[in-house]
Amino acid sequence: MALDKNWFVEVAPEAGFAQALKIRGKLHEEQTPYQKLEIFDTEDWGNLMTLDGLVMLTARDNFVYHEMMSHPPVMTHPAPRRVAIVGGGDCGTLREVLRHPAIEKVFQIEIDEAVTRAAERYFPELTEANDDPRAELLFGDAIEWMKRQEPGSLDVVIVDSTDPVGPAVGLFQRAFYADCLQALGTTGVLAQQSESPLLHLDTLKAMRAEMKAAGFEQLRTYQFCQPTYPSGWWSATLAGIGVDLRDFREQDARELPFTGHYYSADMHRGSMAMPPFIERALAEG
């Protein structure tokens, strides 16, 4: 069947891959100082946000990504209190982090305020926790912000970025990771979205090499399904200092004070298992 104008198509030319969502219409289009932001009304996936033609989220499946970006790092740190979210302007990761009563403070540093304003309007369920007194929404360059943080002032850093293109390139580089590491001090966990383990294994390897070079002791890539991202198979990577990333607060994860849709203690453990071809590729460095 040929696709007409009733389909939004994301093309990943580097992977010879494209995917499409059937749309009813476009709700919003804006050229921000950083990127082209569009919101579509889809037939079956609820509202869709894209940046420069790439799917950021749909109402239907963003819960997988947002839960897997927030709960694994928070449950891996032995006593998380202070969190920074880099990017994440739609506030979905922020909402999940704030579900943990032990968290005292969450900074969200998003470069493009238009993303948050659009989320407030078209994805109000994601921004519903924004008035939480523990949340501080900052709009600016997180690379600069991270340099200014006191050593050891953060417990968890979550990099909820776009692909490593445009303003996000620096978020995949050693200098930024080194600044995160110093803000984490002697005990901390960084989590970053790390693309499709099938389509972007080279990107994943390069990112891990930068994390290692910055001084992180341990790395752990994990996986989850994300139907509306290219290949539907996505990953995130934990980088740790003074924390064993093979372990997590499993008992606490079995008694969460909220109900996960995707995340659970078993899903946490399961997400860390990697197919042998990826294990081998990552072991090669």
List, by residue number, the catalytic residues. Answer: 160
Query: The sheet that has 47-51: what strands, in order across it?
Result: 7-12, 17-31, 36-42, 47-51, 54-58
What type of residue is 112?
D
Site string for ligand AG3, 127-166 (x = CB under 6 A): ---------------------------------x-xx---
Q: How far is CA 50 from CA 14, 140, 196, 231, in A?
A: 19, 20, 17, 17
| Least gap, CB of 19 to ligand AG3 (angstroms) | 9
Between 90 and 155, name the residue whose CB sits nearer to ligand AG3: 90
The reply to whether 167 sits near ligand AG3 by the rule CB under 6 A is no
Nearest approach in angstroms of CB 160 to ligand AG3 is 5
What is the residue type of 116? T
Q: Which amino acid is at 96?
A: E
Return the number of the residue (38 or 160) whose C-beta is nearest ligand AG3. Answer: 160
Q: Does 123 bind ligand AG3 (CB under 6 A)?
A: no
Shortest gap between Cβ of 92 and ligand AG3 (angstroms)?
Answer: 5
**Does 73 sit near ligand AG3 (CB under 6 A)?**
no
Closest CA to 108 of 83, 143, 76: 83
- d(CA 114, CA 125) in angstroms, rounded, equals 17
Based on the shown chain and the rule CB under 6 A, indicate whether residue 192 belongs to the binding site for ligand AG3: no
Q: Which is nearer to ligand AG3, 64 or 241 (CB)?
A: 64
Q: For residues 37 and 54, what is the distance between their CA atoms, to the nearest angstrom?
A: 10
List of long-range contacts for 252-256, beta carbons under 8 Å, 24+ apart: 252/75, 253/71, 253/75, 256/99
What single-letter amino acid sits at 166? Answer: G
Q: Between residue 31 and residue 60, which ones bind ligand AG3 under the rule CB under 6 A?
A: 54-57
Compute the 3-state secondary structure of the chain and give helix, strand, coil in percent, each to the nearest 5: 35, 30, 40
**Given the complex with ligand AG3, which of 158 and 219 has the nearer CB atom?**
158
Q: Which range binds ligand AG3 by CB under 6 A, 89-97, 146-154, 182-190, 251-259?
A: 89-97
Number of residues that bind ligand AG3 (CB under 6 A): 16
70 counts as binding ligand AG3 under rule CB under 6 A: no
Judged by the rule CB under 6 A, the positions of this chain that interact with ligand AG3 are 10, 54-57, 65, 88, 90, 92-93, 160, 162-163, 193, 229-230
